[in-house]
Structure 1
Amino acid sequence: MSDQNIVDINERKGNVDWKKYRTSGIFLIIFLVLVGIILSNLFIVKEGEYKVIRQFGEVVDYKDEPGLSYKIPFIQTVTTLPKYQMIYDVEEAEINTRDKKRLIIDNYSVWKIENPKLMIANARTVAGAEAKMGEFIYSVVRAELGKLNYDEVINDEKSSRGSLNDVVTAKVNELLVRDNYGIQVIDVRMKRTDLPVENEQTVFTRMISDREKIAQEYLSRGDADKNRIIANTDKVVKEILSKAKADAEVIRGEGEAEAAKIYNESFSKDAEFYQLFRTLESYKTTINGETMIILPSDSPYANLLMGNLQ
Structure 2
Amino acid sequence: MMKAAMILPAIGVVAAVALSSMFIVDEREKVLVLQFGQVKQIKEDPGLGFKIPLIQEVVRYDGRILGFLTQPLEVTPLDDRRLVVDAFARWRIVDLVNFRESVGTEGVRAAQVRLERILNAAIREVLGSVPSNRVLSEDRTSLMNQIRDRARRESSALGIEVVDVRLTRTDLPEQNLAATFARMRAEREREAADEIARGNEAAQRVRATADRTVVELTSGARRDAEVIRGEADAQRNGIYAEAFGRDPEFFAFTRSMTSYERALRGENSSIVMQPDSQFFEYLRSDSVAPAPGQVDPGQGAPQAATQTAPVAE
Normalising by structure 2, we get a TM-score of: 0.78
2:292 equivalent in structure 1: none
CA drift of 1:60 comes to 2.7
The CA RMSD measured in Å over matched residues stands at: 2.9
1:203 equivalent in structure 2: 180
CA drift of 1:300 comes to 4.1
2:43 equivalent in structure 1: 63
Which runs of structure 2 are paired with 1:30-41 in the superposition (5 Å)? 30-41=10-21
Which runs of structure 2 are paired with 1:219-230 in the superposition (5 Å)? 219-230=196-207
Do structure 1's residue 240 and structure 2's residue 217 form an aligned pair?
Answer: yes
Q: Which among 134, 148, 151 is matched to residue 172 of structure 1?
A: 151
Instruction: Give yes or no for contact 1:86–1:111 (8 Å, CA) kept in 2.
Output: yes
Amino acid at match of 2:129: K
Q: Which among 124, 127, 144 is matched to residue 145 of structure 1?
A: 127
1:276 equivalent in structure 2: 253
Amino acid at match of 1:50: K
Partner of 2:158: helix, strand, or coil?
coil
Identity of aligned residues (%): 31
CA drift of 1:210 comes to 1.4
CA drift of 1:88 comes to 0.8
Q: Which among 258, 277, 281 is matched to residue 303 of structure 1?
A: 281
Q: Tell me, in whole angstroms, the C-alpha distance in 1 between the residues paired with 2:83 and 2:60.
A: 39
Change (3 A) 1:70 1:270: farther
Q: Tell me, in whole angstroms, the C-alpha distance in 2 between the residues paired with 1:309 and 1:43.
A: 154
Instruction: Give yes or no for contact 1:51–1:81 (8 Å, CA) kept in 2.
Output: yes
Instruction: Give yes or no for contact 1:303–1:309 (8 Å, CA) kept in 2.
Output: no
Partner of 1:32: helix, strand, or coil?
helix
Q: Tell me, in whole angstroms, the C-alpha distance in 1 between the residues paired with 2:244 and 2:33.
A: 137
Which runs of structure 2 are paired with 1:1-310 in the superposition (5 Å)? 21-124=1-104, 125-154=107-136, 156=137, 161-177=140-156, 180-264=157-241, 266-267=243-244, 270-279=247-256, 297=276, 300-301=278-279, 303-304=281-282, 307-308=283-284
Q: Tell me, in whole angstroms, the C-alpha distance in 1 between the residues paired with 2:39 and 2:188.
A: 61
CA drift of 1:191 comes to 1.0
Instruction: Give yes or no for contact 1:61–1:117 (8 Å, CA) kept in 2.
Output: no
Q: Please, which runs of 5 or more residues in structure 1 have no aligned partner? A: 1-20
CA drift of 1:123 comes to 2.0
CA drift of 1:25 comes to 3.2
Q: Tell me, in whole angstroms, the C-alpha distance in 2 between the residues paired with 1:300 and 1:309.
A: 13
Change (3 A) 1:198 1:24: same
Change (3 A) 1:109 1:204: same
Change (3 A) 1:115 1:300: same
Q: Deviations over 1:173-218 (max 9, x none)?
A: 01122xx211111111111123223222221221221121121122
Q: Deviations over 1:88-112 (max 9, x none)?
A: 1111121222233322211111111
Q: Tell me, in whole angstroms, the C-alpha distance in 1 between the residues paired with 2:18 and 2:237.
A: 138
Q: Please, which runs of 5 or more residues in structure 2 have no aligned partner? A: 287-313
Q: Tell me, in whole angstroms, the C-alpha distance in 1 between the residues paired with 2:57 and 2:66.
A: 25
Change (3 A) 1:68 1:291: same
Amino acid at match of 2:63: K
**The structure with more helix, counted as a fraction of residues:** 1
Q: Tell me, in whole angstroms, the C-alpha distance in 1 between the residues paired with 2:38 and 2:192.
A: 68
Q: Tell me, in whole angstroms, the C-alpha distance in 2 between the residues paired with 1:75 and 1:171.
A: 41
CA drift of 1:169 comes to 0.5
Aligned residue pairs total 279
Amino acid at match of 2:200: D
Q: Tell me, in whole angstroms, the C-alpha distance in 2 between the residues paired with 1:236 and 1:90.
A: 69
